[in-house]
Amino acid sequence: MSRALHEQTTKTPVPHPEGVSEDEFKAAMARLTAGVVLVSAHDPDDGPRGEDVGMTATAFMSVSVEPPLVLVSVRDGSRMDEVLERQPRWAAALLTEGQRDIAGRFAMKGRLSDRLLFRELPHERGEVSGAPLLREALAVVECHTEQRVRAGDHNLVIARVLASSVRHGEGTGPLAYFRGRYGKLSP
């Protein structure tokens, strides 16, 4: 048997027809460092005055400069997914290395109320989106959804940036996510 044929026949088989296992995929993707954002929206259909909703996201990125587009990935059927399906205007706050606790709170499954979480945070109402904007974030962008794309168990929400502001100067670093933990980038 030739060496090439031997290598082909002795390779570890693919765990299932669709590709790698969930554990293998998660282990590989955990090595990708990501920035952390708080996605927020105001849900006018929840209660008499509406409800502010927030979600920590690490799958957020710039897509295009012309036009200015961003993308966030949200779990299909999640509260944020349902809100963004009805409410096209939302915001994303790029978190600082000192906002680990905010990221953790809005990432908790089964939390009781986003309204209570926002009450404790210094924020203002976005003029364009109506969403709560964190005052102490690195930057905030206010967005309008242009397209939603189903991708496995998530939806990719592509949005035009309608307004943005930088809130901190060069001395403050971003919050990063690596191997399942929040941290800061070393200079």
* Cβ–Cβ < 8 Å for 155, 149: yes
Q: Return the number of other C-beta atoms located less than 10 Å from residue 116's C-beta.
A: 10
* pLDDT tens profile 134-181: 999 999 999 999 999 999 999 999 999 999 999 876 778 999 999 999
pLDDT band at residue 38, thresholds of 50, 70 and 90?
very high
- The alpha carbon of 92 is separated from its chain's Cα centroid by a whole number of angstroms, namely 8
* Cβ–Cβ < 8 Å for 91, 141: yes
Q: What is the pLDDT of residue 145?
A: 98
The answer, yes or no, to whether residue 25 has pLDDT greater than 60, is yes
Give the closest residue to 68 by CA, choosing from 147, 159, 166: 159
* pLDDT tens profile 55-108: 999 999 999 999 999 999 999 999 999 999 999 999 999 999 999 999 999 998
pLDDT band at residue 1, thresholds of 50, 70 and 90?
very low
pLDDT band at residue 4, thresholds of 50, 70 and 90?
very low
Q: What is the pLDDT of residue 81?
A: 96
pLDDT band at residue 187, thresholds of 50, 70 and 90?
low
Q: What is the pLDDT of residue 2?
A: 47
DSSP 31: T
Q: Which two tokens stand for residue 106?
A: 């809005």
* CA 169 vs CA 30, 138, 174: distances in Å: 29, 8, 11
pTM given for the model: 0.85
Q: What is the pLDDT of residue 113?
A: 79
